[in-house]
Chain A
Amino acid sequence: NAGVMQNPRHLVRRRGQEARLRCSPMKGHSHVYWYRQLPEEGLKFMVYLQKENIIDESGMPKERFSAEFPKEGPSILRIQQVVRGDSAAYFCASSPPGGYGYTFGSGTRLTVV
């Protein structure tokens, strides 16, 4: 029973490129959450998705960031035209339908050079 799978573990992008981060939730989990961890700032909520629906995107920057959780396949966090300030660890978590208990992935560490 694999946990939450995130890939890649490490991602290096040049300024202006696009970054795509993937998250496959635990089996049986239909709720996916993305968090960003910046040095000295702690974890910050970005977005909460269910299959084909964005439930709460109040933590997403207004521009360049988007997220989806399609009917088939992993959830994707997409960052267009990355800037140095986007360098951070991005964590995905999943939870079962109707319940709590968040399981986190190992994260994707994005470095923008």
Chain B
Amino acid sequence: SQELEQSPQSLIVQEGKNLTINCTSSKTLYGLYWYKQKYGEGLIFLMMLQKGGEEKSHEKITAKLDEKKQQSSLHITASQPSHAGIYLCGADAGNNRKLIWGLGTSLAVNP
């Protein structure tokens, strides 16, 4: 079984709509990372969360980490076609710099 569960697996939204992607672990996480990947390309860093209850925003993307540090959400407000891609959550579950990963959420935004 995957150590980090991401949901949904895929998402198609209309441009302008809001959406949320979730990332859940059964373990306490020492660092939670969100990346975006376009097909055939590398991973683009979005945000890192470390403290329970932490929330960060950049442009129209907001990421939160719950108090227990076992669940994170990524929220996109007023989605645009440029937001399309695969969103990956990665986490340090043992404070040892060895990241575990979810399988990704594939997002399509229809104009």
Shortest CB distance B93–A (Å): 11
Chain A interface extent, by class: 20 to 34
Out of A31, A45, A105, A109, name the residue touching B99 (CB < 8 Å).
A45
Could you tell me how many residues of chain B have their Cβ less than 8 Å away from some Cβ of chain A?
Answer: 24
Whether A48 contacts B97 by the Cβ 8 Å rule is: yes
Given contacts A42-B103, A43-B90, contact A106 B42 (CB under 8 A): yes
In the complex, B88 has a CB within 8 A of chain A:
yes
The main secondary structure of chain A at its interface with chain B is: strand
Most buried by A among B44, B92, B98: B98
For B35, list chain A residues within 8 Å (CB). Answer: 104
Residue B101 is within 8 A (CB to CB) of chain A in the complex: yes
Interface string of B32-65 (1 = CB under 8 A from A): 0101000011111100101000000000000000
Q: Pick the contact of B98 from A48, A91, A103, A107 — CB < 8 Å? A: A48
A35 to B35, CA, bound (A): 14
Q: How far is the CA of A112 from the CA of B111 in the complex (A)?
A: 38
Is A18 in the interface zone, CB < 8 Å from B? no
Q: Which of B's residues lie within 8 Å of A, judged by CB? A: 2, 31, 33, 35, 40-45, 48, 50, 88, 90, 92, 96-104
